Amino acid sequence: MSAPKAFFSLGFGIALWLSAPVLHALPFTDTVVSFTPGDNGSHDSGYGVEDDSGGIYTGLSGEGVFDARAVTALDGAVLALGGAVGTPGYITLHFSDGEVVDGSGADLRLYDTFSFQDGFNLEISADGTHFMNAFFSAGDLLYFKCSPEKPCTADVDIAGLQLDAFSYLRITAAGDSAQGFPEAYTLDAVEALHYRSTTVPEPGTLALFGLAAVGLAFVRRRKD
């Protein structure tokens, strides 16, 4: 076994492995830009991570805890934005490798998998700076059976809005909507239903393919 052959195999293997997630990427928001928890004044703010994932979620959890991993996978772990009886919490999320586009019917789906169907306001942005209102849900506080098995979903259609594509969104808990339930909106994940990938092969991946090609050429030359 020559060294160049081993190198070639390793390089090609890594290149395939790196490209696989791009091919099979699930269109959930994958990045938290910022999170500002709600403030209930003298009351418990209520924000934090509730983990009902049954062991799937491996991030931090508990009252007063924030962990971006709670809202980047649909797994039964939720982030309570907090502040339902005071200043509502808000979170800004981003699709880092593509954008939501307008297709037939709903284009975006929010998942609340914890207890009450809390209200929220949704803003969207193409550049992460200029946001526009896109959707409001008053919630339904008579309904408290949101769960991982039976998620409470909110579908958003961007048809008719001024933006026909966006990759940033901000969710703000509906204020004063749930007195006595200060956790406010509990977000599990945000899914794109109509999505356009903007991913191009990363320089690192291209470099590995290049190295693999060099390795192949080297092996072939040695055989000559």
Residues that bind Ca ion (CB under 5 A): 75, 77, 188-189
Beta carbon nearer to Ca ion, 32 or 84: 32
Query: Shortest distance, CB of residue 66 to Ca ion, whole angstroms?
Result: 13
Query: Shortest distance, CB of residue 191 to Ca ion, whole angstroms?
Result: 11
Query: Shortest distance, CB of residue 147 to Ca ion, whole angstroms?
Result: 13
Beta carbon nearer to Ca ion, 33 or 211: 33
Measured between alpha carbons, how far is 139 from 117 in angstroms, rounded to an integer? 5
Beta carbon nearer to Ca ion, 86 or 89: 89
Which DSSP string corresponds to 23-61?
Answer: HT---B--EEEEEE--B-TTS----EEEE-STT---S--
Q: Which of 193, 185, 129, 189 is nearest to 158 (CA)?
A: 193
Is 87 in contact with 172 (CB distance < 8 Å)?
A: no
Ramachandran class of 196: left when φ > 0, alpha when ψ lies in -120 to 50, beta otherwise: beta
Query: Shortest distance, CB of residue 57 to Ca ion, whole angstroms?
Result: 7
Beta carbon nearer to Ca ion, 59 or 215: 59
The residue whose Cβ lies closest to Ca ion is 188
Measured between alpha carbons, how far is 37 from 147 in angstroms, rounded to an integer? 22
